[in-house]
């Protein structure tokens, strides 16, 4: 193992440049740790002439990223172009098919095509890793596939989209509306010009699907994730939740139940004093509950040049050392196609109803809830002016189907002036 590990970088955006910088800064350290040198031999990006602040002259250049996979002087491809299909996928398939290793930060590609790519890698004696795709700099895939590998995982949860957590935190702290905060996040570069992937929960759901597959030994099932974004979260709910001791978070939860695999990415209320509730800004958090280890919590930067490069180089060093852990922690052929759980388990819910301020209205609401077996834990009607009475309710544990039936009834009544809001309260 004294030959250098020769790597090529496909994509020279922030992350690709970060990888160049990190290898330049810490090549000696990495060689000491890996027992062999790690050398960048070639790169590819859209523009060869753009000034990226790093010297690319020592490296070979390819206009076509896929050509990197055909070079004789490349053992491993760092894929940081992104995109679930297109060149990233062709490059990855070409590399793995010819026995070259791939380290990728591409959560969309892995969530969609992870199973096929893992099989291709194993069939060709190549290693496929993607630590950077999930929760940025936090070495969570390693923890799940290796450090905690002996455990039966009971639940895995994560706040894994910095944009969403930033927006929700800012709404709470500044009292600004969703649209205003989103615009500010875009100006600061925290949110993309097209924010749908982030605020719609898709990006975080990609990560959850990868966590779930690795936690439960199941084939990655992105289409099985119930996804709800934060676009509908109102300032009123954030403020009312806070008054009742909760915070609103875009939280992913995966759990293997008797009726199958439950995967949800949705805005939920969590206790303000919980570790999830105290998470501010763009930091990510992943919580793993294992039957032997108990509860472990991993927190760190979820994105950015340095953290992403750190995760990528962690994978690269592993491969340089000869590590061959399969992509999802066990051979792809042994992963199970899990049933999808029909519904999430029962939970408390937060309700915000907008009602007419008239005698009997509350009684009507209480009756509608009782009819569907939903009992009330806390109810609050704050002082208000005018004819509109906002009513806040925290239910005891109930099934969402029962709750939806009750809310449909309430919404259909003349006493209801706006669509009822219901948010799940997650026990984290």
* Number of chain positions touching a copy of itself (CB under 8 A): 59
- Residues of this chain, 211-230, that bind a copy of itself according to CB under 8 A: 217
Note whether 331 binds a copy of itself by CB under 8 A. yes
Taking the CA of residue 3 as centre, how many other CA atoms within 13 Å lie in the half-sphere pointing to its CB? 8
Query: What are 330's two structure tokens?
Result: 């066990």
Q: How far apart are the first and last CA of the chain?
A: 45
In angstroms, what is the minimal distance from the CB of 330 to a copy of itself?
A: 5
- Residues of this chain, 138-177, that bind a copy of itself according to CB under 8 A: 138-139, 142-143, 145-152
Note whether 354 binds a copy of itself by CB under 8 A. no
In angstroms, what is the minimal distance from the CB of 317 to a copy of itself?
A: 5
Which positions from 244 to 283 touch a copy of itself by CB under 8 A, shown as an x/- string? -------------------------------x--x-----
- Site for a copy of itself (CB under 8 A): which residue of 52, 184, 242, 321? 321
Which positions from 362 to 401 touch a copy of itself by CB under 8 A, shown as an x/- string? ----------------------------------------
Angle at alpha carbon of residue 293, lines to 225 and 255, rounded to 5°: 15
Angle between helices 14-34 and 305-321 (to 10 degrees): 40
CA distance 343 to 252: 15
CA distance 295 to 182: 33
In angstroms, what is the minimal distance from the CB of 146 to a copy of itself?
A: 6
- Site for a copy of itself (CB under 8 A): which residue of 234, 330, 348, 354? 330
Name the segment binding a copy of itself (CB under 8 A); options: 165-173, 229-237, 292-300, 416-424: 292-300
The residue assigned the tokens 């077996």 is 373
- Is residue 207 annotated as part of the catalytic site, yes or no? yes
Name the segment binding a copy of itself (CB under 8 A); options: 8-16, 47-55, 322-330, 380-388: 322-330
Q: Where are the alpha helices (DSSP H) in 301-428?
A: 305-321, 361-371, 400-412
| Residue 265, H or E segment | strand 260-271
Annotated binding-site residue numbers for NADPH: 107
Q: Which of 100, 207, 249, 371 is catalytic?
A: 207
Strand partners, 226: 264
Annotated binding-site residue numbers for L-homoserine: 192
Nearer Cβ to a copy of itself (299/381): 299
Nearer Cβ to a copy of itself (137/195): 137
- Site for a copy of itself (CB under 8 A): which residue of 98, 174, 324, 375? 324
Q: Per DSSP, which regions of 277-426 are E strands? A: 283-290, 294-301, 349-356, 376-381, 388-395, 416-424
Which positions from 24 to 63 touch a copy of itself by CB under 8 A, shown as an x/- string? -xx--xx-xxxx----------------------------
- Site for a copy of itself (CB under 8 A): which residue of 200, 201, 290, 420? 290
In angstroms, what is the minimal distance from the CB of 325 to a copy of itself?
A: 6
CA distance 386 to 99: 71
Q: What is the CA radius of gyration of the chain?
A: 24
Closest CA to 56 of 91, 4, 9: 9
Closest CA to 113 of 222, 211, 252, 197: 222
Note whether 122 binds a copy of itself by CB under 8 A. no
Q: Where are the alpha helices (DSSP H) in 57-161?
A: 87-97, 107-123, 140-142
Residue 117's contacts (CB-CB under 8 Å, 6 or more residues apart) are: 92, 93, 96, 102, 109, 110, 128, 327
Query: Quick check: 7 and 24 in contact, CB under 8 A?
Result: no
Note whether 309 binds a copy of itself by CB under 8 A. yes
Judged by the rule CB under 8 A, the positions of this chain that interact with a copy of itself are 18, 22, 25-26, 29-30, 32-35, 131, 137-139, 142-143, 145-152, 217, 275, 278, 290-301, 304, 306-307, 309-311, 313-314, 316-318, 321-325, 329-331, 334
Catalytic residues: 207
């Amino acid at each position: 193992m004294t030959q250098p590990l020769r790597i090529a970088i496909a994509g020279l955006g922030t992350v690709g440049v970060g990888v160049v910088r990190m290898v330049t800064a810490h090549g000696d350290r990495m060689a000491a740790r890996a027992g062999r040198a790690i050398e960048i031999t070639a790169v590819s990006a859209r523009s060869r002439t753009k000034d990226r602040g790093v010297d690319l002259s020592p490296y070979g250049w390819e206009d076509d990223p896929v050509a990197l996979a055909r070079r004789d002087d490349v053992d491993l491809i760092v894929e940081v172009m992104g995109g679930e299909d297109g060149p990233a996928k062709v490059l990855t398939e070409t590399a793995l098919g010819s026995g070259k290793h791939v380290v990728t930060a591409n959560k969309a590609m892995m969530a969609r095509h992870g199973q096929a790519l893992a099989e291709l890698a194993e069939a060709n004696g190549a290693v496929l890793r993607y630590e950077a795709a999930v929760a940025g700099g936090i070495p969570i895939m390693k923890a799940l596939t290796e450090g905690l590998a002996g455990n039966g995982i009971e639940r895995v949860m994560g706040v894994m989209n910095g944009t969403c957590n930033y927006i929700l935190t800012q709404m709470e702290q500044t009292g600004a509306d969703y649209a205003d905060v989103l615009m500010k996040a875009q100006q600061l570069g925290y949110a993309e010009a097209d924010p749908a992937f982030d605020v719609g929960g898709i990006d975080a759901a990609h990560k959850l699907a990868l966590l779930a597959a690795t936690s439960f030994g199941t084939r990655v099932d992105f289409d099985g994730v119930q996804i709800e974004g934060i676009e509908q979260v109102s300032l009123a709910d954030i403020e009312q939740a806070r008054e009742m001791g909760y915070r609103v978070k875009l939280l992913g939860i995966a759990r293997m139940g008797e009726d199958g695999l439950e995967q949800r990415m949705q805005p939920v209320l969590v206790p303000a004093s919980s570790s999830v509730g105290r998470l501010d800004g763009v930091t990510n958090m992943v919580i793993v509950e294992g039957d032997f280890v108990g509860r472990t919590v991993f927190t760190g930067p979820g994105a950015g040049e340095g953290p992403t490069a750190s995760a990528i180089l962690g994978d690269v060093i592993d491969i340089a050392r000869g590590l061959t852990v399969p992509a999802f922690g066990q051979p792809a052929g042994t992963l199970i196609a899990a049933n999808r759980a029909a519904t999430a388990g029962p939970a408390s819910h937060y309700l915000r109803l907008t009602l007419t301020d008239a005698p009997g209205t509350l009684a009507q609401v209480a009756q509608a809830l009782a009819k569907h077996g939903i009992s009330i834990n806390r109810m609050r009607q704050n002082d208000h002016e005018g004819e509109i009475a906002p009513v806040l309710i925290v239910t005891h544990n109930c099934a969402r189907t029962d709750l939806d039936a009750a809310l449909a009834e309430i919404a259909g009544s003349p006493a209801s002036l706006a669509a009822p809001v219901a948010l799940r309260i997650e026990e984290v």
